[in-house]
A and B are shown apart, each in its own frame.
Chain A
């Protein structure tokens, strides 16, 4: 078995004077399921956003699948990754937001096919077929043409997971 899937070493994150993450160390191996528990405002979501480089960490090291998040190490210097490189890495990480953040102007199917078509350049028909199959697996096959506003909270969550 290779190294850990997610590895955090002394990760610090500050918002202004507020120190949210004070030296997080953790390892998650492939196939492992991990729960982060804690009271509201304790930084669980912030940490998840850091893993996806939606937030920049202030110090420490954070890597996914053995690669640093958001940076490339050359010698002992860190270089920021270009936007397109960050985007490509994010495409390999799934994330479901607290409020799901589905795109309201797209149907459930379009929400799911958006990233494969635009980012991974999957042919439209193939992306559609795959999305229909996935929606079917979470029991939303007949809701493929519905807009998020026409779905219940639980249905929206399932679309967000499929996405």
Chain B
């Protein structure tokens, strides 16, 4: 197109195509990062002590995969327990009844204020405190009796320890979400004749989800890694399985690389899940939904093709 002309052949105004500003600082920074990356990769690949063949050998080992299954199972159950407890505790905490909100405060105070590791060992040894469990009327007759040692095995202790601890954190996250919803929403819902419970379930919680989801994704990722603590109470999770193997063959680093790979894979999957959840609950918040990765890819190709076909 000759210069000076501002419209294209069909008379539409032409897009501005200016020469971009040169930024030498960016090139220098990029070069430094690139050199550092090459140094790290080179040392990892060329150092024979990494014994990558050993890593490959144990990556799909049966014991490792069984440990992975236990880790995922623990994460899902403990998170489910934590979220359920968190929602209940958050609503209790906002209750006008001082006993109800006080009870929730006490729960959060205790379980957030003691280390998870201590809680895990505590639940594992609960039989020392209460050898027998009775289910029945408080201070009255009992209907069901159970032995603590048979009822609370190490897996149950792990679920209790992780789930109850998580519930305390989730309660604060859910409470923050509920508080973040504008009070006018509650007023509007009430003026339409919705009851308090309907207002919470239909109006407030769906909007609170936007605030609740990101930290909950964070908690889930954190939980996936925290499950590695259960190896101290002899639950056969991923870390425990690796420990069993390297205590025999002393390939400690190689097995840690194996399980780190699995942990990374799982957290990456969670990242993707979180993105789509956030997108779902963002409906109505923005004028347009942010595109999914696939949509972005397709749009990228289309605009690329468009430029090719342009001037």
Contact = CB atoms under 8 A, between A and B. Distances in A.
Instruction: Report whether over half of chain A's contact residues are helix, strand or loop; otherwise say mixed.
Output: loop
A90 B191 contact: yes
Contact of A97 (B188, B196, B207): B188
Give the interface centre of B185, B193, B281 by most chain A CB atoms within 10 Å.
B193
A81 interface: no
Contact of B286 (A84, A107, A149): A149
A13 to B, nearest CB: 16
Interface in A70-108: 83-84, 87-93, 95, 97, 99, 101-107
Nearest to B184: A101
Interface stretch (A25-33, A111-119, A127-135): A111-119
B184 A103 contact: no
B187 interface: yes
A48 B207 CA distance: 26
Nearest to A117: B202
A59 to B, nearest CB: 23
A71 to B, nearest CB: 17
A101 B196 CA distance: 17
Interface residues of A, number: 32
A150 interface: yes
A70 B147 CA distance: 53
Contacts of B196: 83
A90 B207 contact: no
B206 interface: yes
A101 B185 contact: yes
B193 A105 contact: no
Contact of A54 (B191, B198, B207): B191
Given A84-B195, A104-B285, A105-B283, 11 more contacts: A52-B191, A54-B191, A90-B190, A95-B191, A97-B184, A97-B187, A97-B188, A105-B206, A114-B192, A119-B198, A148-B284
